[in-house]
Every structure is written in C-alpha cells, then in structure tokens.
Amino acid sequence: GNSVTQMEGPVTLSEEAFLTINCTYTATGYPSLFWYVQYPGEGLQLLLKATKADDKGSNKGFEATYRKETTSFHLEKGSVQVSDSAVYFCALIDNNAGNMLTFGGGTRLMVKP
Amino acid sequence: EAGVAQSPRYKIIEKRQSVAFWCNPISGHATLYWYQQILGQGPKLLIQFQNNGVVDDSQLPKDRFSAERLKGVDSTLKIQPAKLEDSAVYLCASSAAAHSPLHFGNGTRLTVT
C-alpha cells in the first residue's frame, strides 16, 4: 500500500533560520507529491506540489524536489518567519488509484522571534 | 470563489449519542471527500464521492459511520453511536476532477465524552 513518513516534530527554529522537513514515501505506482500546511485554527491549504520525478514545487519561499531515486520530497525554506509557524503535512496521490490523498503524520514548526 | 463550508465548527456529545456533520463543497466540484484527523496525526480518508456515487469507503467504519451525497452537491457524515475514540476533527474536501488539487474546509472538531 501507499504510505508517507515525515520527521517528527516539533521543529523549533529562530527567525531567519534554514528549514528542512524530511518526507519519504512508499507507493505502488507513480505518485504525485504534495505539501499541505495547517495554520492554527484553519483548514489544510495546499502549499506546493510536484507531479513527476525531478520536478520542483515552490511557493511562498518553500521548495521541495521530487526525488524518485530516494523516494523523498523534503520541504525546505532558506529563511523562516514567525508567520510560518504551522503544521506541515506531506502527502501523495497514487495516479493509478484514483484521487485518494494519503497523508503523513504532520510536522509542527514553531518559529521564535 | 467561496471555499468548502462545514458545520458545525465544534460539537461535544456523550458516548453512544449520534451526531451529524454537513459539508458544502466548492461549486462545480464533482469529487467530495471526508477525512478524519485525530489529534497529532495526519488526516485519514473515510469516504470519497464522485458526484453522488461512492468511489472509496474502504476505511469507513460502516457499523457506526454513514455518509451520503444525495444530489451530488452537499454531503452529510453521521456517527451513530459515537465512541470515545471518534474524538477528532472531521475534514471535508472537494476537487474539480481526478488529480486536481483538493480544497479543504476548516473542519468540525468533535469531542466525545
């Protein structure tokens, strides 16, 4: 079956620090990969996506590259802000199995001023 | 465009009682999903509709959970009777088509005492 594994949080950083949140996946087919963000009290929002190997998704200074050889989709940001504090979820859709989104367990990021 | 609407925002019930949640997807979105998000975990798909038909309900505890989307627009999710372990946030999402991004509502937080 399909699964997504993320590094456990919380991740606590100072403002302007470099961020990496690791994500690896297992899929039977050729998945599309996503990062969703959940700010306090809000619903999940799509942050970025990549649909094939070597694609790079980017948005709001965040980036993630689809690495088929290592089955990874690590999230990075060069300089985090306090407003980036949220829970980040890595997810995949197996393109051979409809549109079902499989999520990782989430990683809480706390950025201190 | 208006987002995915869910109600109620919060619900507290005693075990063995019943509860229902409502979701109004983004206009024109054919696919609707219900996810369960237990505290500290990633969302888990309960059921997926395509228009008014069920695509996947393999992870829905059918002895107590039911969902319907009679006219292919709004949907309701019901739990009867509730158990303590049903305490979670119930998320509704919709997408325009297969492999399109999912748009999530803010969720209904259920507490079973």
pLDDT digits (tens, 9 = 90+) for B38-95: 988 899 999 999 988 998 899 999 999 999 998 889 999 999 999 999 999 999 999 9
Q: Look at strands B108-112 and B10-13 and give their pairing.
A: parallel
Mutation site, A101, A102, A103, A107, interface B, largest B CB count within 10 A: A101
Q: Name the band, by pLDDT with cuts 50, 70 and 90, for residue A100.
A: confident
Buried residues in A89-110 as b, exposed as e (16+ CB within 10 A): bbbbbbbeeebbbbbbbbbbbe
Mean pLDDT of the region A68-72:
95
Per-residue pLDDT, A38: 93
Cα atoms in the 13 Å half-sphere on the side-chain side of A27: 26
Of A82, A81, A63, which Cα lies nearest the Cα of A23? A63
A49 touches B: beta carbon within 8 Å: yes
What pLDDT, on a 0 to 100 scale, did the predictor assign at position B45?
93
Residue of B9, B37, B59 whose CA lies nearest to A41: B9
Can you give the pLDDT at residue A36?
A: 96
Indicate the residue of B42, B95, B106 with minimum beta-carbon distance to A99. B95
From chain B residues 22-81, the ones with a CB under 8 A of any chain A CB are 31, 33, 40-45, 48, 55-56
DSSP string across chain A = --EEEE--S-EEEETT--EEE-EEEE-SS-EEEEEEEE-TTS-EEEEEEE-STT-EEEETTEEEE-BTTTTB--EEESS--GGG-EEEEEEEEETTSTT-EEE---EEEEEE-
Comparing alpha-carbon positions, the chain B residue that sits nearest to A41 is B106
Return the pLDDT at A84.
Answer: 97
For the segment B5-28, the average pLDDT, to the nearest whole number, is 97
What confidence score (pLDDT) does residue B1 get? Answer: 65
Q: Is the pLDDT of residue A11 over 80?
A: yes
Query: Are B105 and B92 spatial neighbours (Cβ–Cβ below 8 Å)?
Result: yes
CA distance A55 to A86: 25
**Across chain A, which distance is largest between two alpha carbons, in Å?**
44
The residue of chain A nearest to residue B33, with distances taken between CA atoms, is: A100
Answer whether B105's CB lies under 8 Å from B90's CB.
no
CB contacts, 8 Å: A89 with chain B:
42-43
Contacts with A1 from chain B: Cβ below 8 Å: none
* Whole-number pLDDT of residue A99: 67
Residues of B in contact with A105 (CB under 8 A): 40-42
The average pLDDT across B87-105 equals 89
For chain B, the C-alpha Rg in angstroms (whole number) is 13
Tell me which residue of A16, A40, A33 sits closest to A90, measured CA to CA.
A33
CB pairs under 8 A between A and B: 57
Closest residue to A99, CB basis, from B44, B98, B103 = B98
Q: Is the pLDDT of residue B97 over 90?
A: no
Chain B contact for A40, CB < 8 A? no
pLDDT band at B105 (very low <50, low <70, confident <90, very high): very high
